[in-house]
A and B are shown apart, each in its own frame.
Chain A
Amino acid sequence: GQNIDQPTEMTATEGAIVQINCTYQTSGFNGLFWYQQHAGEAPTFLSYNVLDGLEEKGRFSSFLSRSKGYSYLLLKELQMKDSASYLCAVRDSNYQLIWGAGTKLIIKP
């Protein structure tokens, strides 16, 4: 079966760095996405990785290792507004998005 695993919840301190991991087992691979979702709102796109390596975009970076079926989202200089759920999703061989359950990130002052 297809499976996306990510931690259920993480806590970090304002101004610090946090890494959210995602491991996947899917039928084929056509890219991995990270989305941010605030409570009661739709997800918003953060990053896309299709090749191995690190993609940096401002305070957010995303890493992919296809051989390991592994990705992480790195958030730097954490702000209170970063408190949200972070969803990892993989596009499989049928170009369907397979979603992880999301990681709830709690930022403390």
Chain B
Amino acid sequence: GAVVSQHPSRVICKSGTSVKIECRSLDFQATTMFWYRQFPKQSLMLMATSNEGSKATYEQGVEKDKFLINHASLTLSTLTVTSAHPEDSSFYICSASPGDVNTEAFFGQGTRLTVV
């Protein structure tokens, strides 16, 4: 099946620093990737839709200047959490689909971000 790789799986950073999370589709091209955030015991919250070659589409309430998304190629999207604060600590997950609208979304392994 299709594989999506997300890196790093865990990261601890200091307040005020920036953290970059990568999401790669390993065996298919993804014109669209999705970034989710998940707090403990809660469901996935869509943060933004990453579109290859164009600006990302952010969900209401998500600061685009804080969560920078770059989708420079058909297999790579990056999420950069800028000027991280402890409240940004969460589980971040990316997903992508091979393109057929009838296929499922494949998820990366997720990134556990802890801001201290």
Q: How far is the CA of A104 from the CA of B91 in the complex (A)?
A: 18
- The residue from A41, A97, A100, A102 contacting B46, defined by CB atoms under 8 A apart: A97
Interface of B is mostly: loop
Using Cβ atoms and an 8 Å threshold, which residues of chain B touch A24? none
Residue B42 is within 8 A (CB to CB) of chain A in the complex:
yes
What is the number of residues of chain B that contact chain A, defined by CB distance less than 8 Å?
21
Q: Are B102 and A101 in contact (CB under 8 A)?
A: no
B106 touches A41 (CB 8 A): no
**Smallest Cβ-Cβ distance to A4: which chain B residue:** B43
The answer to whether B85 has its CB under 8 Å from any CB of chain A is no
For A104, the closest partner residue in chain B by CB is B41
Is B109's CB under 8 angstroms from A41's CB?
Answer: yes
- A residues contacting B by CB (< 8 A) are 30-31, 33, 40-45, 48, 50, 87, 91, 95-97, 99-102, 104
Residues of chain B touching chain A, judged by Cβ–Cβ distance below 8 Å, are 6, 34, 41-44, 46, 49, 91, 93, 101-110, 112
A-B contact pairs, 29 of them (CB 8 A): A30-B101, A31-B102, A33-B104, A33-B105, A41-B110, A42-B6, A42-B93, A42-B109, A42-B110, A43-B44, A43-B93, A44-B107, A45-B104, A45-B105, A45-B106, A48-B102, A48-B104, A87-B43, A87-B44, A91-B101, A95-B101, A96-B49, A97-B34, A97-B46, A97-B105, A99-B43, A99-B46, A102-B43, A104-B41
